[in-house]
Protein backbone atom coordinates (compact mmCIF):
# COMPACT_ATOMS: atom_id res chain seq x y z
CA UNK A 1 0.00 0.00 0.00
CA UNK A 2 1.39 3.42 -0.90
CA UNK A 3 1.79 5.59 2.16
CA UNK A 4 -0.15 8.56 0.78
CA UNK A 5 -3.37 6.65 1.49
CA UNK A 6 -5.11 7.99 4.55
CA UNK A 7 -7.23 4.89 4.66
CA UNK A 8 -6.25 1.37 3.70
CA UNK A 9 -7.32 0.44 0.19
CA UNK A 10 -8.29 -3.12 -0.59
CA UNK A 11 -9.38 -4.56 -3.90
CA UNK A 12 -10.54 -8.14 -3.94
CA UNK A 13 -8.75 -10.41 -6.39
CA UNK A 14 -11.02 -10.85 -9.39
CA UNK A 15 -10.51 -14.64 -9.43
CA UNK A 16 -12.07 -14.88 -5.97
CA UNK A 17 -14.97 -12.57 -6.73
CA UNK A 18 -16.00 -13.30 -10.30
CA UNK A 19 -18.48 -10.80 -11.70
CA UNK A 20 -21.50 -12.27 -13.46
CA UNK A 21 -23.36 -10.63 -16.34
CA UNK A 22 -25.91 -8.05 -15.24
CA UNK A 23 -29.30 -9.61 -14.60
CA UNK A 24 -28.40 -12.84 -16.41
CA UNK A 25 -31.27 -15.20 -17.11
CA UNK A 26 -30.76 -18.49 -15.35
CA UNK A 27 -33.35 -21.18 -14.98
CA UNK A 28 -32.81 -24.45 -13.27
CA UNK A 29 -35.20 -27.27 -13.74
CA UNK A 30 -38.66 -27.19 -15.20
CA UNK A 31 -40.95 -24.19 -15.42
CA UNK A 32 -42.96 -23.67 -12.28
CA UNK A 33 -46.10 -21.71 -11.57
CA UNK A 34 -47.58 -20.64 -8.25
CA UNK A 35 -49.73 -23.76 -8.09
CA UNK A 36 -46.90 -25.88 -9.47
CA UNK A 37 -44.60 -24.71 -6.69
CA UNK A 38 -47.28 -25.27 -4.09
CA UNK A 39 -47.84 -28.81 -5.33
CA UNK A 40 -44.10 -29.48 -5.34
CA UNK A 41 -43.99 -28.38 -1.71
CA UNK A 42 -47.04 -30.44 -0.76
CA UNK A 43 -45.69 -33.50 -2.55
CA UNK A 44 -42.63 -33.54 -0.32
CA UNK A 45 -44.62 -33.79 2.91
CA UNK A 46 -45.77 -37.15 4.22
CA UNK A 47 -48.73 -35.45 5.92
CA UNK A 48 -50.15 -34.56 2.50
CA UNK A 49 -50.11 -38.19 1.48
CA UNK A 50 -51.60 -39.33 4.78
CA UNK A 51 -54.49 -36.87 4.35
CA UNK A 52 -55.00 -37.76 0.71
CA UNK A 53 -54.96 -41.49 1.47
CA UNK A 54 -57.52 -41.02 4.22
CA UNK A 55 -59.72 -38.86 1.99
CA UNK A 56 -59.43 -41.40 -0.84
CA UNK A 57 -60.47 -44.16 1.54
CA UNK A 58 -63.43 -42.10 2.75
CA UNK A 59 -64.45 -41.44 -0.86
CA UNK A 60 -64.34 -45.14 -1.77
CA UNK A 61 -66.33 -46.05 1.34
CA UNK A 62 -68.92 -43.38 0.54
CA UNK A 63 -69.27 -44.52 -3.07
CA UNK A 64 -69.17 -48.29 -2.58
CA UNK A 65 -70.18 -49.16 0.97
CA UNK A 66 -71.17 -52.67 -0.08
CA UNK A 67 -67.48 -53.46 -0.69
CA UNK A 68 -66.75 -53.11 3.00
CA UNK A 69 -69.69 -54.87 4.57
CA UNK A 70 -72.20 -57.46 3.49
CA UNK A 71 -74.77 -56.38 6.05
CA UNK A 72 -77.27 -53.60 5.61
CA UNK A 73 -77.42 -50.89 8.25
CA UNK A 74 -81.16 -50.42 8.52
CA UNK A 75 -84.57 -51.99 8.16
CA UNK A 76 -84.89 -55.75 7.92
CA UNK A 77 -81.22 -56.32 8.56
CA UNK A 78 -81.70 -55.17 12.12
CA UNK A 79 -83.02 -57.64 14.57
CA UNK A 80 -84.31 -55.94 17.68
CA UNK A 81 -83.78 -59.18 19.55
CA UNK A 82 -80.04 -58.83 18.98
CA UNK A 83 -79.80 -55.38 20.55
CA UNK A 84 -76.56 -54.10 22.06
CA UNK A 85 -74.46 -57.13 21.52
CA UNK A 86 -70.77 -57.19 22.16
CA UNK A 87 -68.44 -57.51 19.14
CA UNK A 88 -68.26 -60.96 17.58
CA UNK A 89 -70.82 -63.35 16.26
CA UNK A 90 -70.80 -61.79 12.78
CA UNK A 91 -70.93 -58.26 14.14
CA UNK A 92 -67.38 -56.85 14.13
CA UNK A 93 -68.28 -53.92 16.36
CA UNK A 94 -71.39 -55.39 17.87
CA UNK A 95 -74.96 -54.09 17.46
CA UNK A 96 -76.74 -51.00 18.62
CA UNK A 97 -79.96 -50.44 20.59
CA UNK A 98 -82.04 -51.28 17.50
CA UNK A 99 -80.07 -54.45 16.90
CA UNK A 100 -78.41 -52.99 13.80
CA UNK A 101 -74.79 -53.80 12.99
CA UNK A 102 -72.61 -50.91 14.25
CA UNK A 103 -69.87 -51.48 11.68
CA UNK A 104 -72.23 -51.47 8.73
CA UNK A 105 -73.98 -48.34 10.04
CA UNK A 106 -70.56 -46.71 10.24
CA UNK A 107 -69.75 -47.67 6.65
CA UNK A 108 -73.13 -46.66 5.23
CA UNK A 109 -73.21 -43.50 7.33
CA UNK A 110 -70.13 -42.22 5.50
CA UNK A 111 -72.08 -41.49 2.36
CA UNK A 112 -74.66 -39.26 4.05
CA UNK A 113 -72.10 -37.32 6.06
CA UNK A 114 -69.64 -36.84 3.22
CA UNK A 115 -72.37 -36.00 0.69
CA UNK A 116 -73.79 -33.30 2.91
CA UNK A 117 -70.32 -31.90 3.58
CA UNK A 118 -69.19 -31.93 -0.05
CA UNK A 119 -72.40 -30.59 -1.60
CA UNK A 120 -72.72 -27.85 1.03
CA UNK A 121 -69.08 -26.82 0.52
CA UNK A 122 -69.35 -26.74 -3.27
CA UNK A 123 -72.58 -24.74 -3.18
CA UNK A 124 -71.33 -22.30 -0.54
CA UNK A 125 -68.02 -21.81 -2.37
CA UNK A 126 -69.66 -21.23 -5.75
CA UNK A 127 -72.22 -18.79 -4.41
CA UNK A 128 -69.72 -17.11 -2.10
CA UNK A 129 -67.10 -16.72 -4.84
CA UNK A 130 -69.49 -15.23 -7.37
CA UNK A 131 -71.11 -12.83 -4.93
CA UNK A 132 -67.84 -11.89 -3.22
CA UNK A 133 -66.04 -11.33 -6.52
CA UNK A 134 -68.81 -9.15 -7.94
CA UNK A 135 -69.11 -7.13 -4.73
CA UNK A 136 -65.36 -6.59 -4.46
CA UNK A 137 -64.74 -5.88 -8.14
CA UNK A 138 -67.60 -3.55 -8.96
CA UNK A 139 -67.87 -1.90 -5.57
CA UNK A 140 -70.27 1.02 -4.96
CA UNK A 141 -73.89 0.38 -4.02
CA UNK A 142 -73.74 -3.20 -5.26
CA UNK A 143 -70.98 -3.91 -2.77
CA UNK A 144 -72.88 -2.14 0.02
CA UNK A 145 -76.08 -4.11 -0.59
CA UNK A 146 -74.38 -7.48 -1.01
CA UNK A 147 -72.09 -6.99 1.97
CA UNK A 148 -74.97 -6.06 4.28
CA UNK A 149 -76.97 -9.05 2.99
CA UNK A 150 -73.99 -11.25 3.81
CA UNK A 151 -73.75 -9.69 7.26
CA UNK A 152 -77.38 -10.60 7.94
CA UNK A 153 -76.73 -14.25 7.15
CA UNK A 154 -73.42 -14.08 8.95
CA UNK A 155 -75.13 -12.93 12.15
CA UNK A 156 -77.21 -16.12 12.28
CA UNK A 157 -75.19 -19.14 13.45
CA UNK A 158 -75.31 -21.80 10.75
CA UNK A 159 -76.67 -24.54 12.96
CA UNK A 160 -79.27 -22.26 14.55
CA UNK A 161 -80.50 -21.12 11.13
CA UNK A 162 -80.58 -24.68 9.86
CA UNK A 163 -82.57 -25.78 12.93
CA UNK A 164 -85.26 -23.22 12.15
CA UNK A 165 -85.44 -24.13 8.46
CA UNK A 166 -85.40 -27.89 9.01
CA UNK A 167 -88.10 -27.47 11.69
CA UNK A 168 -90.54 -25.80 9.32
CA UNK A 169 -90.03 -28.30 6.50
CA UNK A 170 -89.81 -31.75 8.11
CA UNK A 171 -91.16 -33.43 4.95
CA UNK A 172 -88.02 -32.59 2.97
CA UNK A 173 -85.32 -34.04 5.16
CA UNK A 174 -82.69 -35.54 2.90
CA UNK A 175 -78.99 -35.07 2.26
CA UNK A 176 -79.52 -32.57 -0.58
CA UNK A 177 -81.89 -30.22 1.24
CA UNK A 178 -79.70 -30.37 4.31
CA UNK A 179 -76.69 -29.40 2.19
CA UNK A 180 -78.60 -26.53 0.59
CA UNK A 181 -79.71 -25.21 3.95
CA UNK A 182 -76.16 -25.36 5.30
CA UNK A 183 -74.83 -23.61 2.17
CA UNK A 184 -77.43 -20.83 2.52
CA UNK A 185 -75.99 -19.98 5.92
CA UNK A 186 -72.40 -20.78 5.01
CA UNK A 187 -71.73 -18.70 1.87
CA UNK A 188 -71.16 -15.30 3.52
CA UNK A 189 -67.89 -16.46 5.04
CA UNK A 190 -66.53 -17.47 1.63
CA UNK A 191 -67.93 -14.27 0.08
CA UNK A 192 -66.13 -12.15 2.64
CA UNK A 193 -62.79 -13.80 2.00
CA UNK A 194 -63.27 -13.60 -1.77
CA UNK A 195 -64.25 -9.95 -1.59
CA UNK A 196 -61.13 -9.08 0.37
CA UNK A 197 -58.88 -11.00 -2.01
CA UNK A 198 -60.52 -9.37 -5.04
CA UNK A 199 -60.15 -5.91 -3.52
CA UNK A 200 -56.40 -6.33 -3.25
CA UNK A 201 -55.99 -8.09 -6.59
CA UNK A 202 -57.97 -5.53 -8.59
CA UNK A 203 -55.53 -2.72 -7.75
CA UNK A 204 -52.52 -4.65 -9.08
CA UNK A 205 -50.56 -3.12 -11.92
CA UNK A 206 -51.32 -6.03 -14.22
CA UNK A 207 -55.00 -5.19 -13.97
CA UNK A 208 -54.32 -1.56 -14.89
CA UNK A 209 -52.11 -2.77 -17.75
CA UNK A 210 -54.99 -4.93 -19.03
CA UNK A 211 -57.38 -1.98 -18.85
CA UNK A 212 -54.87 0.03 -20.87
CA UNK A 213 -54.81 -2.81 -23.41
CA UNK A 214 -58.55 -2.42 -23.89
CA UNK A 215 -59.59 -5.67 -22.17
CA UNK A 216 -63.20 -5.47 -20.96
CA UNK A 217 -63.99 -5.29 -17.24
CA UNK A 218 -65.78 -8.62 -17.12
CA UNK A 219 -62.91 -10.35 -18.89
CA UNK A 220 -60.39 -8.82 -16.49
CA UNK A 221 -62.44 -10.10 -13.57
CA UNK A 222 -62.55 -13.64 -14.93
CA UNK A 223 -59.05 -13.88 -16.40
CA UNK A 224 -56.90 -11.96 -13.94
CA UNK A 225 -58.67 -11.05 -10.73
CA UNK A 226 -60.49 -14.30 -9.87
CA UNK A 227 -57.53 -16.68 -10.47
CA UNK A 228 -55.37 -14.49 -8.24
CA UNK A 229 -58.00 -14.44 -5.47
CA UNK A 230 -58.76 -18.15 -5.24
CA UNK A 231 -55.94 -19.30 -2.96
CA UNK A 232 -57.42 -18.10 0.37
CA UNK A 233 -60.87 -19.30 -0.69
CA UNK A 234 -59.64 -22.82 -1.36
CA UNK A 235 -58.06 -22.93 2.07
CA UNK A 236 -61.25 -21.78 3.78
CA UNK A 237 -63.33 -24.17 1.66
CA UNK A 238 -61.35 -27.23 2.80
CA UNK A 239 -61.77 -26.15 6.39
CA UNK A 240 -65.49 -25.46 6.01
CA UNK A 241 -65.94 -28.93 4.50
CA UNK A 242 -65.08 -30.28 7.93
CA UNK A 243 -67.34 -27.74 9.60
CA UNK A 244 -70.30 -28.74 7.39
CA UNK A 245 -69.86 -32.42 8.19
CA UNK A 246 -69.92 -31.52 11.87
CA UNK A 247 -73.03 -29.38 11.32
CA UNK A 248 -74.81 -32.30 9.68
CA UNK A 249 -73.88 -34.45 12.67
CA UNK A 250 -75.12 -31.74 15.04
CA UNK A 251 -78.44 -31.45 13.24
CA UNK A 252 -78.92 -35.21 13.05
CA UNK A 253 -77.94 -35.39 16.71
CA UNK A 254 -80.76 -32.94 17.46
CA UNK A 255 -83.11 -35.07 15.39
CA UNK A 256 -83.46 -32.33 12.77
CA UNK A 257 -81.04 -33.66 10.18
CA UNK A 258 -81.44 -36.79 8.19
CA UNK A 259 -84.36 -39.15 8.93
CA UNK A 260 -83.63 -42.15 11.10
CA UNK A 261 -84.07 -44.45 8.12
CA UNK A 262 -80.84 -43.01 6.65
CA UNK A 263 -77.66 -44.13 8.35
CA UNK A 264 -75.50 -41.16 9.34
CA UNK A 265 -72.79 -40.57 11.91
CA UNK A 266 -74.69 -37.73 13.49
CA UNK A 267 -77.77 -39.86 14.02
CA UNK A 268 -75.65 -42.64 15.52
CA UNK A 269 -73.87 -40.27 17.88
CA UNK A 270 -77.29 -38.99 18.91
CA UNK A 271 -78.56 -42.53 19.52
CA UNK A 272 -75.38 -43.56 21.31
CA UNK A 273 -75.80 -40.71 23.78
CA UNK A 274 -78.46 -42.68 25.66
CA UNK A 275 -76.03 -45.48 26.45
CA UNK A 276 -72.95 -43.35 26.97
CA UNK A 277 -72.28 -44.85 30.38
CA UNK A 278 -73.29 -48.43 29.88
CA UNK A 279 -71.96 -48.93 26.34
CA UNK A 280 -69.61 -46.08 25.28
CA UNK A 281 -68.48 -48.02 22.19
CA UNK A 282 -71.78 -47.08 20.47
CA UNK A 283 -70.91 -43.38 20.57
CA UNK A 284 -67.16 -43.92 20.18
CA UNK A 285 -67.06 -45.43 16.68
CA UNK A 286 -69.15 -42.84 14.79
CA UNK A 287 -67.39 -40.06 16.71
CA UNK A 288 -64.01 -41.46 15.68
CA UNK A 289 -65.07 -41.67 12.03
CA UNK A 290 -66.35 -38.07 12.15
CA UNK A 291 -63.20 -36.81 13.85
CA UNK A 292 -60.86 -38.55 11.40
CA UNK A 293 -62.76 -37.24 8.36
CA UNK A 294 -62.87 -33.67 9.63
CA UNK A 295 -59.21 -33.88 10.67
CA UNK A 296 -58.19 -35.09 7.21
CA UNK A 297 -59.91 -32.22 5.41
CA UNK A 298 -58.81 -29.54 7.85
CA UNK A 299 -55.20 -30.71 7.83
CA UNK A 300 -55.26 -30.71 4.05
CA UNK A 301 -56.55 -27.14 4.18
CA UNK A 302 -53.66 -26.19 6.45
CA UNK A 303 -51.15 -27.87 4.16
CA UNK A 304 -52.55 -26.03 1.14
CA UNK A 305 -52.35 -22.73 2.99
CA UNK A 306 -48.74 -23.34 4.00
CA UNK A 307 -47.81 -24.41 0.49
CA UNK A 308 -49.29 -21.23 -1.00
CA UNK A 309 -47.48 -19.00 1.49
CA UNK A 310 -43.75 -18.84 0.76
CA UNK A 311 -43.08 -17.42 4.22
CA UNK A 312 -44.69 -20.40 5.92
CA UNK A 313 -42.64 -22.65 3.64
CA UNK A 314 -39.39 -20.96 4.70
CA UNK A 315 -40.27 -21.37 8.38
CA UNK A 316 -40.30 -25.14 8.20
List interacting residues with other proteins (CB under 8 A). Answer: 1, 3, 5-12, 14, 16-17, 19-20, 22-23, 25, 27, 31-37, 41, 204-206, 208-215, 224, 227-228, 313-316
Q: How buried is 161 (Cβ within 10 angstroms: 0-12 exposed, 13-18 middle, 19+ buried)?
A: middle
Of 23 and 170, the one with the shorter C-beta distance to other proteins is 23
Minimal distance in Å, beta carbon 32 to other proteins?
A: 6
Read off the DSSP letter of residue 80.
Answer: G
Of 56 and 312, the one with the shorter C-beta distance to other proteins is 312
Minimal distance in Å, beta carbon 123 to other proteins?
A: 25
- Which of these, 269, 240, 272, lies nearest to 252 by C-alpha position? 269
Of 279 and 302, the one with the shorter C-beta distance to other proteins is 302
At 160, which helix (H) or strand (E)?
Answer: helix 158-168
φ, ψ for residue 202, nearest 5 deg: -75, -15
Of 41 and 248, the one with the shorter C-beta distance to other proteins is 41
Dist. CA 146–CA 44, nearest whole Å: 41
Minimal distance in Å, beta carbon 13 to other proteins?
A: 9
Of 3 and 278, the one with the shorter C-beta distance to other proteins is 3
Give the length of the chain: 316
Alpha helices in 221-275 (DSSP H): 226-253, 265-272
Minimal distance in Å, beta carbon 111 to other proteins?
A: 36
Dist. CA 229–CA 129, nearest whole Å: 9
Dist. CA 17–CA 60, nearest whole Å: 59
Minimal distance in Å, beta carbon 206 to other proteins?
A: 4
Of 277 and 315, the one with the shorter C-beta distance to other proteins is 315
- Which of these, 118, 119, 125, lies nearest to 237 by C-alpha position? 125
Q: How far apart are the first and last CA of the chain?
A: 48
Of 38 and 296, the one with the shorter C-beta distance to other proteins is 38
Q: How buried is 112 (Cβ within 10 angstroms: 0-12 exposed, 13-18 middle, 19+ buried)?
A: buried
Minimal distance in Å, beta carbon 268 to other proteins?
A: 44
Minimal distance in Å, beta carbon 140 to other proteins?
A: 13
Amino acid sequence: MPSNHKIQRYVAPVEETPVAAVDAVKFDGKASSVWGDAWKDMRSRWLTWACLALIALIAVVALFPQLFTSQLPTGAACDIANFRQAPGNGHVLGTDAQGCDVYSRLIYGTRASVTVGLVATILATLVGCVIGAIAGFYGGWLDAVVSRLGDIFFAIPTVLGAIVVMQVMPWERNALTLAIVLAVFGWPQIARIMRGAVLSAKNADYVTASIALGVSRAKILVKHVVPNSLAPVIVIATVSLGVFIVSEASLSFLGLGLPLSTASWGADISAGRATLRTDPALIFWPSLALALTVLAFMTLGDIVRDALDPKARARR
